Amino acid sequence: MKIKFWCSKLFVAIISIIILASLILLLALRLDFGKREDAVLVYFSQQEGMPEAFAQLENLTSPGSVVLCWWDYGRAVREWSHREVIKAYPSRDIWYTIGSSRDPIHNLEAQLFGT
């Protein structure tokens, strides 16, 4: 009787550790994905005149405007000009050709959290 009780406690402890480790792994993957997603905004913010140009777009367009731009500028237009864009993220074909599929971790992150 004591052996069964000990085994059930051990089983619950192992399952709890596995669930906790899985949650920590998912959180780490999400944070890494978010950091890489924001890398383009960090890059643009470091380029002379880029944030100001995107902010000026807000003054040049009426509220509710939709901006046509390359997808790699889409997020910056959204963030700094507060205008909607047609495409803010790469298509699946482009995403696979720019390298996410070359790294299994980045590919997993894209599948779990990508837009």
Residue 115 has pLDDT above 70, yes or no: no
Question: What pLDDT digit, counting tens, does each position of 46-94 carry?
Answer: 889 888 888 899 899 998 899 988 888 888 888 889 899 987 777 767 7
Helices (H) and strands (E) in the chain, counts: 6, 2
The residues with which 84 forms a beta bridge, in sequence order, are 66
* Cβ neighbours of 109 (radius 10 Å): 21
Contact of 79 with 87, CB cutoff 8 Å: no
Q: Mention every residue, 6+ apart, whose C-beta is less than 8 A from residue 89.
A: 71, 74, 75, 114, 115
CA distances (Å), origin 103, targets 8, 71, 94, 96: 39, 22, 15, 10
Tens-place pLDDT, residues 88-109: 777 767 766 665 556 777 777 8
Is 114 a residue whose pLDDT tops 80?
A: no
More confident residue, 5 or 73: 73
pLDDT at 1 over 60: no
- Tens-digit pLDDT profile for residues 8-61: 888 888 899 999 999 999 999 998 888 877 788 888 888 898 888 888 998 999
Taking the complete model, does pTM exceed 0.95, yes or no?
Answer: no
